[in-house]
Amino acid sequence: MANPIGGGMQITDLKVICTAPDGIRLTIVKVETDGGLSGIGCATFTQFPLTVVSALNNYFKPFLLGRSAESITDAWHAMYLSGYWRNGSVLNNAIAGIDQALWDLKGKALGKPVYALCGGKVRNDLATYVHVNGANASEVHGKIIKFKELGFDNFRVQFVIPNLASYGSGLSFQTKVGEQTRQDYRLALNQAPWNENLYFEYTLQELRKLRVLDSEIGIIHDVHERIAPTRAVAFAKAVEDLGLLFLEDPVAPEHIEYLTDIKACTTTPIAFGELLNTPSDYNRLISERLIAYLRCHITQIGGFTPALKLASTAESFGIKTAFHGPGDLSPVGHAAHMHLGALTPNFGIQEIYLQSEKSDAVFPGSPEIRAGKMQINDRPGFGVEIDEEAAAQFPYPDHAFNGAWPEIRSNDGSIIKP
């Protein structure tokens, strides 16, 4: 049934492109129109990619055919409500891919970058941070020195503890912009056990050493919800004198009440939100100012449309943005972040993934990183294309669970949060 809202270009086809140039399962949506124009978006959900592919092909494609490609907001709400039960990560990732593709398409049709359609840019480049890991502060600082020579100032630091399921402890590969930690370590079927006490004491020890080695860099650490909420409060208080740029995900989404305790006892800035699934999940975080940095995963919350609204809402409460930007997001998603940062007055900092030359070939026009900053370009749409022939050279890798994370267990055998 044709969409009664809007006119102009109509959607004639929806294609799903699955590719993994860096070994990470990326899902790209391509929306085609009767005017011959197309747009692309990121629907990447690395843990359950094939469920998103199914949702796109079997449900949203027939739902969208014949609708106006120009009525983006109407299409978003129609898709969001089409399943009746909302807030699901599979549904939202599928919607996000289509939503971004429609924004990309509109920009291309008008010959304008997406940020120009939403009020125009307020800055010329974006401050970024990169991931650095190592066995101790000395090793981490050695890597940071190399990044500083390339113009980077801010670093998410994780320490590899022997025989412990350390988060962020993967091997690295070299890119033209610097060293990037691999992300497939999370998929190993035989994960080492987790020891909360060892993590707590060792990480604090090495963070203190790192701050002594370098008093100027911006340091970020990701707890990744792996410790008990009461320990998280203690951890946030213990690192207060280190002047972190922010502490990320100290508690799980189920325990956001403890953010109130953290706010009451320490000035350590908190970044939170990548594990939330829908815009309304952020209401309390923002209205009660429980966080300093808003962290959304753009595909999990449904795309560019809700991300822009959330950033605007956060601005009213003095909260900055720090959108989730790992390799679990395609270059199309990173480009969407570039446009959000370009037009958002309360932009804080952007997490980036340093992609390989293989990804550069699959995604021509990927955002450029220069002197530690993401450069804002003026190409139409989101500015990224996909070479479908190149993409086909990198199919999803084989994995026992098709990308789902294997469980991580404590020494007593109980499963912990990932």
Active site members: 167, 224
Residues 185 and 411: their CA atoms lie apart, in Å, by 20
| DSSP of 214-263 | -SSSEEEEE-TT-S-HHHHHHHHHHTGGGT-SEEE--S-GGGTHHHHHHH
Closest CA to 65 of 98, 97, 110, 27: 98
Helix axes 89-110, 331-343, angle to 10 degrees: 70
Q: Which amino acid, residue 182?
A: R
Residues 258 and 230: their CA atoms lie apart, in Å, by 8
Give yes or no for a contact between 40 and 100, defined as CB atoms under 8 angstroms apart.
Answer: yes
> Could you tell me how many helices (H) and strands (E) the chain has, helices first?
13, 15
Q: How far is CA 221 from CA 182, 339, 342, 400, in A?
A: 17, 26, 25, 30
Residues 284 and 221: their CA atoms lie apart, in Å, by 23
CA 287 distance to own-chain centroid: 23
The SS3 assignment for 187 reads helix
Instruction: Count CB atoms within 10 A of the CB of residue 348.
Output: 22
Give yes or no for a contact between 188 and 400, defined as CB atoms under 8 angstroms apart.
Answer: no
The SS3 assignment for 205 reads helix
The SS3 assignment for 280 reads helix
Q: Which amino acid, residue 37?
A: L
Q: How far is CA 3 from CA 36, 66, 278, in A?
A: 19, 7, 25
Closest CA to 251 of 276, 225, 289: 225
